[in-house]
Amino acid sequence: MIDYDLKKIRAVVFDVDGVLSAETITLSAEGEPLRTVNIKDGYAIQLACKRGLRVAVITGGNTAAVRKRYEGLGVEDIYMGAGVKLVAYEELLGKYSLTDEEVMYVGDDIPDYEVMSRVGCACCPKDACEEVKSVSRYVSDRIGGHGVGRDVIEQVLRAQGLWMSDRKAFGW
């Protein structure tokens, strides 16, 4: 259970590699990284978007497949090739007049640490690096790419009374 007042959360921001996809990436013959995705993460993300929760992605990666996947789920704010994630995070705050306390960030490695140290509710998968775990309010019992997104979004939506609250929950 996440130790935070989840009713405050207006935005959930995800890293991709090691959080929404497994930390091991297959490379195509052309050198393109191929990622796996979790279907239950996808369901939770699209439902959160329908419910008005702001969902964003901030990733150092830069592939068309990642953009296509998350846009298809309703994610409007996708920051690709984010070398310093704090820059993208601050842009997101300004765009929606968010405060740090209204944001949950889910990351797993050193590039996420700076943002995770600022947000109100930092979360990570159980296979995150120790530095990230040390600043997380919640360490999921899931490893990256295996339902971490569903875990945290479901907890937020339940706390806000938006999980399975009407017919929108039963479709894509």
CATH number at residue 31: 3.40.50.1000
How far apart, in whole angstroms, are the C-alpha atoms of residue 26 and residue 32? 8
User: pTM higher than 0.75 for the full model?
Assistant: yes
pLDDT tens string 124-147: 999 999 999 999 999 999 999 999
| Pairing status of strand 103-106 against strand 11-14 | parallel
Q: Indicate the Cα dihedral angle 42, 124, 92, 78, nearest 10°.
A: -40
Q: What is the pLDDT of residue 69?
A: 97
Tell me if 3 is assigned to some domain. Answer: no
Residue 27's domain comprises: 9-163
Q: Rounded to an integer, what is the distance from CA 110 to the centroid of its chain?
A: 16
Tell me if 85 is assigned to some domain. Answer: yes
Q: Indicate the Cα dihedral angle 121, 127, 129, 134, nearest 10°.
A: 40
Structurally, the chain folds into a number of domains equal to: 1
Tell me if 137 is assigned to some domain. Answer: yes
Tell me if 4 is assigned to some domain. Answer: no
